[in-house]
Chains A and B, each alone.
Chain A
Amino acid sequence: DTGVSQDPRHKITKRGQNVTFRCDPISEHNRLYWYRQTLGQGPEFLTYFQNEAQLEKSRLLSDRFSAERPKGSFSTLEIQRTEQGDSAMYLCASSLAQDEQYFGPGTRLTVT
Chain B
Amino acid sequence: AQKVTQAQTEISVVEKEDVTLDCVYETRDTTYYLFWYKQPPSGELVFLIRRNSFDEQNEISGRYSWNFQKSTSSFNFTITASQVVDSAVYFCALMGYSGGGADGLTFGKGTHLIIQP
Question: Which residue numbers of A lie inside 8 Å of B, CB to CB?
Answer: 33, 35, 40-48, 50, 55-56, 58, 89, 91, 93, 98-106
**What distance in Å separates the Cβ of B23 from its nearest Cβ neighbour in chain A?**
11
Q: Are A48 and B104 in contact (CB under 8 A)?
A: yes
Residue B66 CB within 8 A of the other chain: no
Number of B residues contacting the other chain (C-beta, 8 Å)?
24
Given A98-B33, A99-B50, A100-B50, are A43 and B101 also a contact pair (CB < 8 Å)?
Answer: no
Q: Are B106 and A45 in contact (CB under 8 A)?
A: yes
A99 to B47, CA, bound (A): 11
Residues on A with beta carbons closer than 8 Å to the beta carbon of B33: 98
Render B9-20 as a binary contact track against A, CB cut-off 8 A, 1 for contact: 000000000000
A-B Cβ contacts below 8 A, count: 58
> Mostly helix, strand, loop or mixed at chain A's interface?
strand
Q: Are A33 and B47 in contact (CB under 8 A)?
A: no
Q: Are B104 and A35 in contact (CB under 8 A)?
A: yes
**What distance in Å separates the Cβ of A43 from its nearest Cβ neighbour in chain B?**
5
Partner of B109, one of A41, A48, A93, A104: A41
A40 to B43, CA, bound (A): 12
Which of B33, B43, B93, B95 is most buried by chain A, counting CB atoms within 10 A of its CB? Answer: B43
Residue B102 CB within 8 A of the other chain: yes
Residues on A with beta carbons closer than 8 Å to the beta carbon of B35: 100-101
Given A42-B108, A45-B104, A98-B33, are A106 and B50 also a contact pair (CB < 8 Å)?
Answer: no
Residue B107 CB within 8 A of the other chain: yes
Q: Are A103 and B45 in contact (CB under 8 A)?
A: yes
Q: Are B95 and A98 in contact (CB under 8 A)?
A: yes
Given A35-B104, A45-B103, A56-B101, are A102 and B109 also a contact pair (CB < 8 Å)?
Answer: no
Q: Are A44 and B101 in contact (CB under 8 A)?
A: no
Which of A42, A45, A56, A100 is most buried by chain B, counting CB atoms within 10 A of its CB? Answer: A42
Residues on B with beta carbons closer than 8 Å to the beta carbon of A45: 103-106
Residues on A with beta carbons closer than 8 Å to the beta carbon of B50: 99-100
A100 to B48, CA, bound (A): 9
